Chains A and B, each alone.
Chain A
């Protein structure tokens, strides 16, 4: 076994350790906190690179996979193992999470520089990273779940980091509770899986893990439950966990609200890593999802579970993209964009397999982190302004931010050939096109791609081109969260470029946003080969195959259409003031309102689930106060009555009797003690009497 497999635990343990040290230190040791957190991530990143290098070689079954585990908890006769697995899926995620995480940590040093709870922030960040890395390396659904919950907890803590803002506190609760609904499904799936297979280990050296052929076949043979094959039912329950965490419809509502947290948090948790955990979960349990599949023409498996994944993903993709069109908060646009892109990933997993979905996950992590951090830089530069209508013309004030943001936007929109998003999205669309069940997801995906290009162009145009529409005197009001340093408030209220500690990570991320696509082009599908362990070679002719080429051309056309439309509507005709109506709003007020209000999903939930919950709560309250409370009161009065009765009995019967009894006992004692005369003659006589009495007693008994 390679050393890195044994020591893989160090990667999540280091940030955990850092978080612990930060937590026990007194404020304000900013340097210590930041360097511990960043240092732990940097070492984690180096270790991840080693792990990644180890997985480049091929293992016994075409793919490198080694596990390490030991006994942890005993239930009855069975041991729960704790352990980790190193395979390409783990390695690529490790590299991505540690690297992006490290950059975001560095960015946060600048972004949070003036926050008084700087240490707390880094403590939570490090704890989050630890949980996320635990999710990634876990070779056991139980350990996975534990880490998953750590991630959920830290997400809650970080969204509500500025808990003095009621909206942040509410968003934190919303995120926690909404994802908890999904977690319930995951927990049920986990328990059921354990009941079925007797293990929660994904892979074991003996090939008896719950994701390995032996157990999967056993589950396939099990009688169906409630009309589902057992394996499908378990897969869907686990997928429910992924739906919650990855913000899929209908549990997406928390993700946009989560933007109340500090922007680096949005970038780290709600763009690059945590939300991807759901996608990663599906990828991890892919063998379960694809169990008993029929294969499509392209070799992608089709099962009920994967079909559900595909549909949920496709609907999420278009649904969220359409909402993003009509949002005005820079982070909310990105949030809905994230939801939409997560939908793409799910769809990719459903129609094409692990490699397709994961490729988009990785590229998306980079460019979305870039976009979020870029938006953070914009917000920072515009004095905490988040409304895109009040920005404009920022390319002059913040050139670096503009260029990197532009790169991220093109990557997200899927600008052909050059940008990573194009290749990864194209692969998903390609797989969807070949999906044998239905073509609808493909069209939904195309429509989503069009909207993506459109809303990103809209955002770019509103933020960076034209004239600055910010109103200096207003910008002071929203400042409560960040105490600006004296020099910045002394300056004019024009936007300013962010410091290097923030821009350098952006530049690095921008580089990856562009380049990363080339590891998974149809001509050189390295990523696919790496994850699945299949052989591949460099073959430019694949690019020009009719199916592939046509699709690439079509998708390019869609992207250009979107970009053109966006530019036509928002770039050419710049809005004059912040208060002016949106172009779309003027043209289609009804649809715009519908989109701006996110299809009224929140209101719908408010009217149904929350109202229902409130009603149920009211009912319970009523029941508690009136019915149960009444019962308790009744019991109380009965008890009081009985107590009164008992007291009477006690005082007048028992106590009297007891007192008499005690008196009798005492008197008896006194009488008996009088036997004790102190005269030794009597004593000796007693011996004689005793002898005679006992002998008589025994002899009499013998005759009887």
Chain B
């Protein structure tokens, strides 16, 4: 092993370092300078600092990612390359938006801690994206997960929040245990914790039962992170109980990083053990396992979403369904499908933050997140409901919004991934299910645009910063829908 060059580590991990420093600054400022100020002021000042930190980290990562070579430190502990850097940029941008929509929140007076945890979660996700080693993956995953558990519990005035956090934590702990178990099996079979070396170690061994167990536990560990059926059960409770910005963070940033690393583990670590999920051509491997999870997620997520009355739960089930679509990108196992996956998941994350942002405002104004609370929104807050229209139609996949083009990329990549359109059955299922999904998105929009508010409802005052963030998100959703090349060039 080469002698450790700390300067190089610092250089390569500079975005992470900047975020770490930001955590300390935000926490320190909140505890010292901002002590005794109003919550709104603390939130605004802290958010400003956090946004600045994230933005500078993003700018740093973005400017260096162009035309950079791949750096690999300590055999996969920290891998810095073009794609990981771009995903980090995306994560940081999503974090910025999450922070922007949190500023109007009234769920906590621990502003510094709240913002620091969001940043720490981001940090975990950033390390996760950079890792190619099982140990580092696990540590990063745990850093992110632990932050998310706490964020879920952050609304101390609401018992549901604590309950949801506990469920999330228990569920997460269990699946982490499974994941760790699987990792240990992998190490045992292949003799390495580094993904490419695992692949080398596995080659020629065939699919022995231990490997299958390792695969299934990996699917379970990450299936939990991305909320895929049947590892989704925590999600509706967590989305509903958590403070809305936390839910947005769980649904957005966490999902981007998890999908990135999931695809990486399978495509790098399980080379040769793909098996086949082709209709009537089933061969054991990780793809059939993922295919089953994907199919179940699409069906169950969409159908269950229909009967929800809480918009947050509805978004949770919609997230499960979307996880199902996204797994198609993992299944495709080609460069095209992974770039389609990243396009989809990033635009999805932007959209979902926006949707949760709208919910935050409506919840604050009406005291609830039931669909009935959205009645007459178009007259009470026209700008807000226009944003909601864009987000929900994009989630449904209406051109020319980003959700449509993302689905198009994803499904066409999946269709083209296997010979003779082998994955067509899953794609057809996905398309049929996205048709179903319109039903529940339109229910919300119908409430917002067609139904009248129950009583004489006053206009909703939307905080300027939030409206700005939402409008920006909506604009991005439209922009990436009309000009997907702006994003795909980096993926």
Contact = CB atoms under 8 A, between A and B. Distances in A.
A490 interface: no
A254 to B, nearest CB: 52
Contact of B220 (A691, A698, A699, A701): A691
Interface stretch (B57-65, B167-175, B336-344, B466-474): B167-175
A672 B220 contact: no
A678 B236 CA distance: 9
A647 interface: no
A698 B234 CA distance: 25
A32 interface: no
Contact of A690 (B207, B231, B439): B231
B284 interface: yes
B304 interface: yes
A676 B236 contact: yes
Contact of A702 (B231, B284, B305): B284
A702 B303 contact: no
A684 B233 CA distance: 9
Nearest to B296: A690
Interface stretch (B85-93, B211-219, B370-378): B211-219
B132 interface: no
Interface string B158-172: 000000001100110
Contacts of B282: 701, 704
Interface size class of A (residues with CB under 8 A): 20 to 34
Interface string A678-704: 101011101101110011011101101
Contacts of A690: 220, 230-231
Q: Which of A662, A666, A686, A702 has the most CB of B within 10 A?
A: A702
B170 A684 contact: yes
Interface string B230-258: 11011011000000000000000000000
Given A680-B167, A701-B282, A686 B230 contact: yes
A680 B304 contact: no
B209 A699 contact: yes
B288 A697 contact: yes
A665 B233 contact: no
Contact of A670 (B178, B220, B237, B307): B307
A699 B215 CA distance: 12
A704 B285 CA distance: 13
Contacts, number: 88
Contact of B170 (A680, A686, A704): A680
A497 B472 CA distance: 76
B283 A701 contact: yes
Contacts of B213: 695
Contacts of B175: 687
Interface in A215-240: none
A687 B222 CA distance: 12
A190 B300 CA distance: 68
A673 B171 contact: no
Interface residues of B, number: 40
B308 A673 contact: yes
B98 to A, nearest CB: 26
Interface in B272-295: 275, 282-285, 288-289, 292
Contact of B237 (A662, A678, A698): A678
Contact of B166 (A665, A680, A699, A704): A680
A669 B167 contact: no
A57 interface: no
A668 interface: yes
A686 B308 CA distance: 22
Given A691-B216, A691-B217, A673 B234 contact: no
Contacts of A689: 230
B289 A683 contact: no
Contacts of B178: 687, 691
A555 B488 CA distance: 84
Nearest to A690: B230
A194 B166 CA distance: 80
B306 interface: yes
A672 B289 CA distance: 21
B304 A698 contact: no
Interface string A231-264: 0000000000000000000000000000000000
Interface string A653-681: 00000000010011011101100101010
The 3 closest A-B pairs by CB, nearest first: A702-B284, A701-B284, A669-B303
Interface of B: 166-167, 170-171, 174-175, 178, 207, 209, 212-213, 215-217, 219-220, 224, 230-231, 233-234, 236-237, 275, 282-285, 288-289, 292, 300, 303-308, 436, 439
Given A669-B307, A695-B209, 18 more contacts: A668-B303, A673-B308, A676-B233, A676-B236, A683-B167, A683-B170, A683-B171, A683-B234, A684-B174, A690-B230, A694-B219, A694-B289, A695-B213, A695-B216, A697-B288, A697-B292, A698-B285, A699-B284
18 contacts: A666-B307, A670-B307, A672-B300, A676-B233, A680-B167, A682-B233, A683-B233, A686-B230, A686-B231, A686-B233, A689-B230, A690-B230, A691-B178, A691-B220, A697-B289, A698-B216, A701-B284, A702-B284
